[in-house]
């Protein structure tokens, strides 16, 4: 008779062949190592082909360029990460998160197989990169095709390598073939066959003047979740970071945008999902961060308790130091709930680094370490499941429960803010949470954020009213982008040129089946600056008159009852 020990001995070589010394399959993915920057405007941000945002162990990952020539940039953010968690029909919890180090992450580069929801080492290795493209490169490619319907010149390298579905040039541009029939980076498909064919005039569908696209997953070929110590959701996340050059618009030139398309690649539905943006700001100094939120505007923000008195600011004498900014994160769109409505900004909470004289981990207000603690924070609870409460440090069960920590204006001593509450000096992090929502197999949802600084010398308790106004302006820009159709049928038929314009611009509708009935020109703040009605034309000349330089949006109504929107710049 073969004993249990003998059976184990027989099986041991097989077990060793499929798992390594860390308990992971041999085909498990390795942490991604690539990185790239958005660097087209005043902000410099670093991204990696995973949920790792900004953090760069060799240099600051989120900086604003100093307005003083010769001065170094100011570091605004240290680290950020996307957290996702959900529950399957058997009530099992699945989690994925990232904080600082790629080696402890729950995410790896690359997409997941459409049928199995898994990946392997070669796929993760191939997608250990980000795709960077300029709007100017896309515009050049479009112009090349539009003049005669043929690509005559060399295709910009970024356009040629764009990982659109079944790109036949992927091996030439990227050094590997894309997974067959895998929907990846978005593109404009001129002939409507579903494949990205740049030589036939297809082009990347991006936002902003510069964009980075990448894709990551939490399955990793069976790799262990070393951040949450949880089980894999089997989600694929397609990410887009973008920025505008922002000429003549200081707010736009200080803004970066983040977009995450979250796809359920499991063969079962995920319920009670939360998606969260975790951040560790450390603005000029890591022990003087004050946080707050404005739930009605889906805004979270950070301001320095020391303000311009912080000697680390730009490493210059205090008198020469520019005003320390309020760093603002605005949620532009949130995940969609069962009814299709945006679930929005569901909660906001901060917690503490336990290694800097903060409360003991057992108190429940410090960094999470296991999956259910991460999930509790994502729901706006403390890590031990205790409800967040209104007032003080938010950890008093005698106070009424709330979903939002420090929602008051710091300038108003009667509001609950970190200015009106005497709290110990801690190294804090913050969570912007959205949920709950569900995803059926293959279903996706998108969440987007804008991050921008608002400069003020109003410290230590600044008035936050200005960030609402700027946030509304940024929302208008974003809404204008998402409303852009610029395509009627399968051909690009609406043009605005020259763009940028100086004295006049022309809106031309080349679709002879329809005419322009109405046109509206709006400023970046959403204010109507020109309105043309009762038209029946294919071409409209827009005179600049005395309009100031900056970003504008145009909207046209065509004779088939469709609205189209686009962006125009006046230099």
What is the residue-wise DSSP string for 7-33?
HHHHHHHHHHHHB-TTS-BTTPPPPP-
The mean pLDDT values, 10 residues at a time, for the chain of 571 residues are 32 35 71 93 91 80 73 75 96 95 89 96 96 90 83 93 97 95 92 92 90 97 95 98 80 92 97 95 67 95 63 39 76 89 93 79 88 97 96 94 96 92 83 96 96 82 90 84 45 72 85 82 79 87 88 82 78 76
Q: In sequence order, what are the residues at sequence separation of 6 or more whose Cβ sits closer than 8 angstroms to the Cβ of residue 9?
A: none
Give the pLDDT score at 288: 66
Both tokens assigned to 203:
């082009």
Beta strands in 281-405 (DSSP E): 289-294, 299-304, 325-333, 347-352
Decide: helix, strand or coil at residue 122.
Answer: helix
Give the pLDDT score at 379: 97
Whole-Å CA distances, 542 to 319, 529, 554, 566: 47, 11, 10, 14
pTM comes to 0.81
Both tokens assigned to 435:
């949920």
Confirm if 262 and 445 have CB atoms less than 8 A apart: yes
CATH number of 494-570: 3.40.50.11440, 3.40.50.2000, 2.60.40.1930, 1.50.10.100?
Answer: 2.60.40.1930
What are residue 381's phi and psi, to 5 degrees?
Answer: -110, 165
Helices assigned H by DSSP within 265-403 = 371-378
Give the pLDDT score at 525: 63
Give the pLDDT score at 380: 97
Give the pLDDT score at 69: 66
Give the pLDDT score at 239: 98
What are residue 102's phi and psi, to 5 degrees?
Answer: -60, -30
Helices assigned H by DSSP within 360-413 = 371-378
Both tokens assigned to 540:
């409209």
Helices assigned H by DSSP within 297-357 = none
The strand pairing partners of 395, in sequence order, are none
Give the pLDDT score at 508: 85
Q: Residue 504, preceding bond cis, omega within 30 degrees? A: no
Question: What is the distance between the alpha carbons of residues 430 and 47, in angstroms, rounded to a whole number?
Answer: 19
What phi-psi label fits residue 307: left (phi over 0), alpha (psi between -120 and 50 degrees) or beta? left
Residue identified by tokens 């609205």 is: 563
Question: What is the distance between the alpha carbons of residues 189 and 191, in angstroms, rounded to a whole number?
Answer: 6
Domain residues of the chain, as ranges?
A: 494-570
Whole-Å CA distances, 476 to 249, 255, 487, 539: 14, 13, 21, 26
């Amino acid at each position: 008779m073969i004993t249990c020990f003998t059976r184990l001995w027989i099986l041991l070589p097989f077990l060793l062949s499929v798992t390594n010394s860390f308990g992971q399959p041999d085909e498990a993915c390795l942490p991604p190592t690539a990185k790239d920057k958005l660097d087209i405007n005043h902000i410099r941000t670093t991204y990696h082909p995973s949920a790792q945002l900004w953090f760069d162990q060799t240099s600051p990952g989120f900086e604003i360029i100093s307005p003083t020539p010769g001065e170094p940039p100011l570091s605004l953010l240290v680290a950020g990460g996307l957290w996702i968690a959900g529950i399957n029909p058997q009530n099992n919890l699945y989690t994925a998160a990232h904080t600082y180090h790629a080696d402890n992450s729950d995410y790896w580069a690359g997409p997941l197989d459409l049928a199995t929801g898994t990946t392997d080492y070669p796929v993760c290795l191939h997608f250990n990169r980000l795709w960077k493209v300029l709007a100017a490169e896309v515009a050049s490619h479009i112009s090349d095709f539009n003049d005669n319907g043929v690509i005559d010149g060399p295709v910009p390298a970024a356009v040629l390598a764009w990982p659109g579905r079944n790109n036949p040039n992927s091996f030439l541009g990227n050094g590997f073939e894309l997974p067959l029939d895998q929907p990846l980076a978005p593109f404009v498909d001129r002939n409507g066959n579903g494949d990205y064919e740049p030589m036939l005039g297809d082009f990347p569908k991006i936002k902003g003047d510069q964009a980075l696209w990448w894709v990551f997953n939490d399955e990793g070929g069976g790799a262990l979740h070393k951040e949450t110590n949880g089980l894999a959701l089997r989600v694929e996340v397609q990410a887009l970071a973008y920025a505008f050059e922002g000429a003549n618009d200081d707010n736009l030139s200080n803004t970066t945008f983040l977009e995450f398309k979250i796809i359920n690649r499991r063969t079962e539905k995920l319920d009670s999902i939360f998606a969260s943006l975790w951040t560790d700001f450390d603005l000029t100094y890591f022990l003087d961060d004050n946080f707050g939120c404005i739930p009605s505007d889906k805004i979270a923000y950070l301001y320095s308790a020391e303000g311009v008195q912080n000697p680390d600011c730009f490493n210059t004498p205090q008198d020469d130091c520019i005003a320390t900014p309020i760093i603002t994160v605005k949620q532009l769109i949130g995940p969609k709930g069962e009814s299709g409505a945006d679930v929005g900004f569901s909660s906001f909470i901060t917690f503490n680094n336990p290694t800097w004289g903060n409360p003991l981990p057992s108190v429940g207000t410090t960094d999470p370490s296991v999956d259910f603690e991460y999930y509790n924070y994502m729901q706006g609870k403390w890590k031990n499941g205790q409800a967040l409460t209104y007032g003080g440090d938010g950890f008093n069960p005698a106070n009424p429960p709330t979903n939002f920590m420090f929602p008051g204006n710091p300038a108003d001593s009667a509001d609950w803010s970190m200015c009106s509450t005497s709290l110990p000096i801690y190294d804090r992090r913050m969570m912007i949470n959205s949920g709950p929502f569900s995803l059926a197999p293959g279903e996706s949802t998108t969440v987007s954020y804008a991050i921008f600084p608002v400069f003020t010398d109003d410290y230590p308790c600044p008035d936050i009213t200005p960030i609402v106004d700027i946030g509304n302006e940024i929302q208008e820009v974003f809404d204008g982008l998402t409303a852009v159709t610029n395509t009627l049928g399968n051909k690009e038929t609406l043009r605005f040129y020259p763009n940028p314009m100086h004295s006049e611009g022309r809106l031309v509708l080349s679709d002879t089946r329809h005419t322009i009935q109405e046109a509206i020109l709006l400023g970046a703040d959403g204010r109507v600056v020109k309105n043309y009605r009762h038209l029946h034309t294919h071409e409209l000349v827009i005179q600049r008159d005395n309009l100031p330089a900056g970003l504008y949006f145009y909207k046209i109504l065509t004779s088939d009852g469709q609205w189209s929107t686009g962006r125009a710049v006046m230099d």
